[in-house]
Structure 1
């Protein structure tokens, strides 16, 4: 099995190689930071042109995760759309594809900082979701327990055979998990950044995505001695 299994608040969770989080006992799949419409938003605001295929690729990978897990419940953990205009102007083919994935499932949209209001798609629209021992929200809150969040697009860098590889990653400690961005056109914040080092406990793990989910100690900037 290529997942990384861990426990948070007594719930057994699976960090999937794709960057999705799977809660088997609830039949729940959680993805964060899909950022649909990013290429269109960049073109609209700056005139920069990116290949307009990120939506198709993101949906293709999301559908693969839904098929692989058989998820009955889905939580999109904020920043599903790159801005509110993108949420209202999804291309017709992508909208139909997304509606097909939503059909027959309990689907929830958590508000993010890019999409802070309800969108015109089926499902529930929530600021955050409390479910059993866990709370799902877009941005981590200091002191939270049993928290599942996204927002930071974490990535980790690992030395390998004389070089290094950087990949999106989950960050996990005894109190929270921060999900990587699932969307295709998304950058990342290195785990050595001060904000992530301050957020995560000293024993935190980085679970790197790819062909399999591999856990390593969370890479950090070494603290200087006084």
Structure 2
């Protein structure tokens, strides 16, 4: 895996993967310029509604609006002609069906005039009533896109685990969502609001990633650290 300098005007993290130039945006979206493709994972639209419906901890009902606002900004920023949603785009199929009229219209505006691919996730395992293409996985050029990583696969982009990294800087700890990347695999952070995450040093992720993998922390700009490193700046 080789890393190039990010374009200064984008405040992003640019790198080579599977012989292609890719860019991680500060939001956690992955941009593939040569394909005009924006990839986002784990939007979990309708999460607050699902929590309330199932009697769980009540969340402020603004998560769908916040997620779509950031997605709209990333589409405008990149002028993406294709958008690939990498699974768990909705918190469940009922949440997809119960999006209110304003949010449905907003999503329809974002989809209009673009190739839009929905990859099935474990929260949304079947086609939703929105337009676009619905697939279990998707191969574009040499890169395979799926929701959950396949340990036997190479040149793969997945999501599902919502990776995050906990760091200690000058004795103060904090946690931040991150993208995991090595020579063979990318695991994207959750794009949606209220999504939580799995620590990058969890054995599930350590077993998937190579020892030299990077954790690229979201922010402006995204910041790479060794995935297995527990602290910086101490």
Shorter-chain TM-score bucket reads over 0.9
Counterpart secondary structure, 1:68 = helix
More deviation, 107-116/205-214: 205-214
Q: Which residue number in structure 1 is paired with residue 101 of structure 2?
A: 92
Alpha-carbon distance, 1:219 to partner: 2.8
- Work out the CA distance in 2 between the residues paired with 1:162 and 1:58: 32
Structure 1 segments of 4+ aligned residues over 6 angstroms from their partners? none
1:18 aligns with 2:36: no
Q: Deviations over 1:39-98 (max 9, x none)?
A: 111111125321100000000000010011110000000000000101111111100000
Please give the TM-score of this superposition, normalised by the length of structure 1: 0.95
Provide structure 2 residue ranges, at least 5 long, that are not aligned to the other structure: 1-7
Which residues in structure 2 correspond to 1:187-202 (within 5 Å)?
187-202=196-211
Distance in structure 1 (CA, Å) of the matches to 2:184 and 2:128: 31
Matched, 1:208 2:217: yes
Q: How far apart, in 2, do the equivalents of 1:48 and 1:185 lie?
A: 12
Once the two structures are superposed, the pairs formed by residues 1-226 of structure 1 within 5 Å of their partners are 1=8, 2-219=11-228
> Shift of residue 207 of structure 1?
0.3
* Cα distance between partner residues in 2 of 1:48 and 1:143: 37
| Alignment check: 8 A CA contact 2:28 2:218 kept | yes
Structure-2 separation of matches of 1:183 and 1:62: 9
The TM-score normalised by the length of structure 2 is 0.92
Q: Distance in 1 between matches of 2:39 and 2:89?
A: 12
8 Å CA contact 1:77–1:112 kept in 2: the answer is yes
Task: For 1:153 and 1:98, locate their aligned partners in 2 and report how far apart those are by CA, in whole Å.
Answer: 23
Instruction: Tell me, in whole angstroms, the C-alpha distance in 2 between the residues paired with 1:171 and 1:186.
Output: 17
In the TM superposition, residue 162 of structure 1 has moved relative to its aligned partner by 2.3
**Alpha-carbon deviation of 1:15?**
1.1
C-alpha RMSD of matched pairs (Å):
1.0
Paired residues of 1:136 and 1:148 also in contact (CA < 8 A): yes
Measured after TM superposition, the shift of residue 24 of structure 1 is: 0.6
Contact 2:211 2:228 in 1 (8 A): no
Task: Report the counterpart of residue 224 of structure 1 in structure 2.
Answer: none
Query: Following TM superposition, by how much is the alpha carbon of 1:122 offset from its aligned partner in structure 2, in angstroms?
Result: 1.0
Greater Cα offset, 37-46 or 106-115: 37-46
> Does the CA-based 8 Å contact 1:56-1:94 persist in structure 2?
yes
Aligned residue for 2:54, secondary structure, equals: helix
